[in-house]
Structure 1
Amino acid sequence: MANGTHFSTKDRILGAAEELFAQHGFAGTSLRQVTSRADVNIAAVNYHFGSKENLVNEVFRRRMDEMSAQRMARLKLAQERHPGELEPILAAFVEPALAMAQDRHGGGAFVRVIARAYAEKNDGLRKFLSDHYGHVQRDFGRAIGACLPGLSKEELYWRLDFLGGALTYAMADFGLIKRPEGVTETAHRERGARELIRFAAAGFNS
């Protein structure tokens, strides 16, 4: 029973922080607001996270660990089943991110948190993300580079950057293409993934 309480308290704090960071940004959200939204006291936040910076990092870790693991598993499969093919590698990068964004349990809020991270230029968070998830980007860079040996490293990383921007935009659903009536969210997401993968493949191959 104690374990269940332990995890539910931590998850409540993370969920509340994610929603508030999405609405107000990192600088604009106080720990008092988080404790009020989560219905816990400040001691619980300090016990589980120690500081606001750690809380920000853990909001990202909660989503990014699973998404990164899915990406790496999909990348390994793509390389085994479709050696030398670019689009399966791009699918391994794109599809887990779009699935996470559509997650009904706060996926949309987390996408807004990512947008806040871009806007606020939080150096501590950037270091945390680079330290913990930079290897994912590098592994995909190597895999894509192996498919396109004529591409210089500089060109490759410019295009990876552009893919990341396009993917974040697609995750946020800011685009002109809205889900048509009668089309499920899953079907709409799958279509978006296919179009983005084709677009990215053309960009990498140009």
Structure 2
Amino acid sequence: MEAIEDTIGQQDDRDTRGALLRAATFVFADRGFDAATLREVTRVAGANIAAVNYHFRTKDELLRLTLVHCLGPLNAARLKAIAECEEDPRPSLWLVLRAIVAPFVELSLDERGGRAAIRLMLQTKALPRKLTNEILAEQFDELHRRSRAMLQRLAPHLSEVQIALRYEYIRGAILHIVADLDPNARRMPGLESIQKHVSDSALIDDIIDFCEAGFLRRGD
């Protein structure tokens, strides 16, 4: 945990609540919510247990607000980008895909140079619970609905089911590659040389090109 402690230790000591949220993001992502302890979070944040009780009261509430802290700005940017596409009388598929992909890649990068928020989100999907399901619905459902509506507008010949599936393929591609390129994740065979060096802009363009080709595949 030394690398995390060094990072968090540089934060403004007055921002105890913010420091606890940042520390919780890293500790939960690295250790898993169930394995992580509040003592670990407070040690990384340079705070004490009383501070957690004061600001969050429970571990579940700390998890909820940590996810909101991680995902809120990211999804606000994606909704803004989708809204701009909705207002365009002739939006292109490339721009709609960019609205879905770019904020996710650009805003998920954390102060350690990794993607702790993405790894934390993947954990909540792999180990679902009522609390995290509610948070993910609150954070993502509107975005998913409006993104699918934009894709349907661009491909009216595809059925609702085909649109939903292709949207899930797009989401899966984004999540998978961003998680695997996190330098704090396991080194993936074949990706070692670029795991720390690929630029966000190159990654975004490559994901969009890949998703565009798949989305345009002729439907049955």
After TM superposition, the score normalised by the length of structure 1 is: 0.84
Please provide the CA RMSD for this pair.
2.5
> 1:32 and 1:177, CA in 2 relative to 1: closer, same or farther beyond 3 A?
closer
Matches of residues 75-154 of structure 1 in structure 2 within 5 Å?
75-81=82-88, 83-104=90-111, 107-154=114-161
| Deviation, structure 1 residue 31 | 1.7
Amino acid at match of 1:133: F
Structure 2: how far apart are the matches of 1:148 and 1:83?
Answer: 13
Structure 1: how far apart are the matches of 2:89 and 2:110?
Answer: 28
Structure 2: how far apart are the matches of 1:177 and 1:106?
Answer: 17
Any idea what the Cα deviations from partners look like across 1:145-186, whole Å, max 9, x if unmatched? Answer: 111111111111112112111101121244644666xx965x
Amino acid at match of 1:44: A
Q: Comparing both structures, which one devotes a greater share of its residues to helix?
A: 1
After TM superposition, the score normalised by the length of structure 2 is: 0.80
What residue is the counterpart of 1:50 in the other structure?
A: 57
Any idea what the Cα deviations from partners look like across 1:72-110, whole Å, max 9, x if unmatched? Answer: 221222344462421101100100011023343565222
| Gaps in structure 1 of 5+ consecutive residues | none
| Gaps in structure 2 of 5+ consecutive residues | 1-11, 182-187
- Aligned residues with identical type, % of pairs: 27
Structure 1: how far apart are the matches of 2:61 and 2:16?
Answer: 16
What residue is the counterpart of 1:190 in the other structure?
A: 201
What residue is the counterpart of 2:185 in the other structure?
A: none
> 1:93 and 1:118, CA in 2 relative to 1: closer, same or farther beyond 3 A?
same
> 1:36 and 1:102, CA in 2 relative to 1: closer, same or farther beyond 3 A?
closer
Moved over 4 A (4+): 177-180
Structure 1: how far apart are the matches of 2:89 and 2:76?
Answer: 19
| Deviation, structure 1 residue 132 | 3.2
Structure 2: how far apart are the matches of 1:69 and 1:101?
Answer: 13
> 1:184 and 1:35, CA in 2 relative to 1: closer, same or farther beyond 3 A?
closer
If asked which structure has higher relative contact order (CA below 8 Å, sep 6+), I would say 1
Amino acid at match of 1:145: Q
